[in-house]
Chains A and B, each alone.
Chain A
Amino acid sequence: MPEVVVEAYTQALRELGNPASTHAHGQSAGERLEAARERIARRLGTDPALVTLTGGGTESINLAIKGLFWAAERSGRFERLAEPPIVMIAAGEHHATIEAAEWLRDTQGAQLEVLPLDRDGVLRPEPLRKALEGFGPERVALLSFLWANNEVGSVLPVRELAAIARAAGVPTHVDAVAALGQLPIDFAELGVDALSVSAHKIGGPVGVGALLIARHASVDPLLHGGSQQRARSGTQNVAGAVAFAAALDHAYGERSNGDSESFEARIARLREMRDRLVAGVLETVPDAVLRGAAPTRDELGSGDPGLDLRLAGNAHFTFPGCQGDSLVFLLDAAGVSASVGSACQAGVAEISHVLLAMGVPESEAIGSLRFTLSPGTTEAEISALLAALPDAVSRARVAGLA
């Protein structure tokens, strides 16, 4: 956790008070909470009234998907339908989205439709347009997709997708958990109904997140009891909100890097390091395959010349003939931390459902490895990785055949 966030967090923890109480302590806590909410809203391009603080990204996503579905059901919209209402999600979503949508299918009478990704892991506008036309937008209870994929780092054309959904009148949720801190987020400009973020992705505390809910949107709560926030009951986490605000300032504000460095400059520097890492890996292991979008700038012409189609801090490869967990072990031993993607609660590395959704065969998906860079990553660390990689790959290949 960055020192400025730790300071803000610990200072807030020292100050007692329930923000909902009317006595002086409570009022002061309430002020700190609302001041934090304002800062959070400003950084995300929205108004404080639209920020529902939650217990993290998973809760935000569950609240959005179930809450939008229940609210639409309660409005009587589904009564006119001859067929079940549709929950539409992209393939390769985070498990919070997949399992919340499956739960709606299995217990709440929804029909689940999964939109295909292209081989870069991107949901393109065309499949969305086709699906909405095919089923009829009136049947679609909600649409949910990632802004950026947490595993392979691909950035979706969210503005275009959001515009299509908006034109069709389909309530839309964007999971921006992985995008936070790496892409500028402007909720008002995006024009979707709901957007999820989580504080720990940008150095804030674990267990703090937010769901932004547009004014016109209806989201039924998951948690009842006290109605402290628009879509959530429960005493609010003042220190968590203060720390989240501090983390957003740290992520998007100017920071000292010798000189003062803006967010844009920091991301540009991160992107350069990533590109060096990608080039270095492909040079040392020629048959490695970069997965996710190639870092070509603004291929879709989204009008954001500063953005590319890949998160600045993500480099994801498959290494033919290797098992990801062998590589993780061998690189770990060489002092390089990499990740095989997701693991179940027991710690078993799972074959990435994202890679499978991109059409990567299981035999190749098994050798996947993700490197995550941060602005604090050094050239020496990248060199250490590139030095350790060839031996790790050749050993892992032997182990893979064992």
Chain B
Amino acid sequence: MKILAAMSGGVDSAVAAARAVEAGHEVVGVHLALSRMPGTLRTGSRGCCTIEDSMDARRVAGLLEIPFYVWDFSERFAEDVVDDFIAEYAAGRTPNPCLRCNEKIKFAALLDKAIALGFDAVATGHYATLEQGAHGRELHRASAWAKDQSYVLGVLTADQLAHCYFPLGDTPSKDLIRAEAAERGIQVARKPDSHDICFIPDGDTRGWLDERLDRTPGQIVDESGAVLGEHDGALGYTVGQRRGLAIGRPADDGKPRYVLSIRPVSNQVVVGPKDHLAISRIAGGRYSLTGEPGFDLAEPFACEVQIRAHADPVPATARLVEITAEERTELHRAEATHEIVVDIDLEHAEPLIGVAPGQSAVLYLGTRVLGQFTIDRAMPLGDPAPETQDLAAVESKA
């Protein structure tokens, strides 16, 4: 096959490219320039298009004797990932830009360009595996769960999966990858792992957002809507936060109060007792499927849900529902007509803690990735939402 190896300058994508070459494919290396930070050498976290990363990728391509190019996706990245990141925060959500980048850049803009230029697939250094299932190609967790990265690939669709190649998927550990890199003479064998958000090099997300978004003062309210105080901008608050709440009088029960949710339209920060942070139901409208599921999503189905890259999967029941006009709230995504609703299986799992709208929820059947959605609403235990009873009724019938 003709393979385009996306090379970040890190050890994983270097070994992935090397394995693609060794497997006999015709491989061309490409480094994506995602943001322009001229003169940036090393930034603490992985930089996009830092000189060091670009040079490292080039050296590896030289070692592998494959052609190497740097392609500029900085504009697409700014529009589809960075602007989306800012817009999500402005709407009171906490987004995961790595998923957006996979969805819009690596496995969309780059993949489309690669196919147009005559390539069969894009190879990356992600830890995940592909299997042929009854309904086509399926995305599965890497055989080593500790390094599994299927969560950030949850946005891939059937078309994209058809052109993916993950040469590292069956490697049991990162140490083995580093050892293999050293053995192959790859000079980035001991380069530190990337972390944080690549376009916020100093890791100060709040400071970075403050430079880009205005803070609008508003009310701090409790769950009943009673005004408890003022905030200087809802943007500054995170679900689960306790400190920094300027509330004059104590709660009736004298217990500390936590940020439970942020209402972007009314610009309110909702606070309440800690036990209301425990979430039993999540729902969201921006969803995608990792290939054909093979069953009707409108019927409740048992699955596992994972809400962070390094969180454990939790047993749950999910279904796809239509959003009716009566039910729509300011937390619903305006453009969504349907949403995926997930109820945590509280007989076998604890409720989710610290769930913030904007996080991506990836659904699994065993090791298989089913799809993902962005959380718009997180509902606490004992929320007297009528659907809960309805769902229970459906389940008991089934």
Contact = CB atoms under 8 A, between A and B. Distances in A.
Contacts of B50: 346
Interface of A: 325-326, 328-330, 332-333, 343-349, 395-396, 398-399, 401-402
Given A402-B112, A402-B116, A345 B51 contact: yes
Contacts of A402: 109, 112-113, 115-116
A395 B72 contact: no
A348 B70 contact: yes
B28 interface: yes
Contact of B70 (A333, A346, A396): A346
A398 B54 CA distance: 26
Interface of B: 28, 31, 33, 36, 38, 49-51, 53-55, 58, 67, 69-72, 74, 109, 112-113, 115-118
17 contacts: A325-B70, A326-B113, A328-B69, A329-B67, A332-B67, A344-B38, A345-B38, A346-B33, A346-B49, A346-B55, A346-B70, A347-B31, A349-B70, A395-B116, A395-B118, A398-B116, A402-B115
Contact of A326 (B54, B58, B117): B117
A338 B69 CA distance: 13
Per DSSP, are chain B's interface residues mostly helix, strand or loop, or mixed? Answer: mixed
Given A346-B55, A347-B69, 9 more contacts: A332-B67, A343-B70, A346-B49, A348-B33, A348-B36, A348-B72, A348-B74, A395-B117, A399-B112
Nearest to B116: A399
Contacts of A332: 67
Given A346-B49, A347-B54, A395-B118, A325 B67 contact: no
A330 B58 contact: no
B191 to A, nearest CB: 16
Contacts of A326: 113, 116-117
A326 B70 CA distance: 11
B113 A347 contact: no
Best-buried of A333, A343, A348, A395 by chain B (most CB within 10 Å):
A348
Contacts of A343: 70
Contacts of A401: 116
B51 A399 contact: no
A208 B112 CA distance: 44
Nearest to A346: B54
A325 B115 contact: no
A392 B33 CA distance: 23
A395 B114 CA distance: 10
B70 A329 contact: no
Contacts of B115: 402
A329 B116 contact: no
B33 A329 contact: no
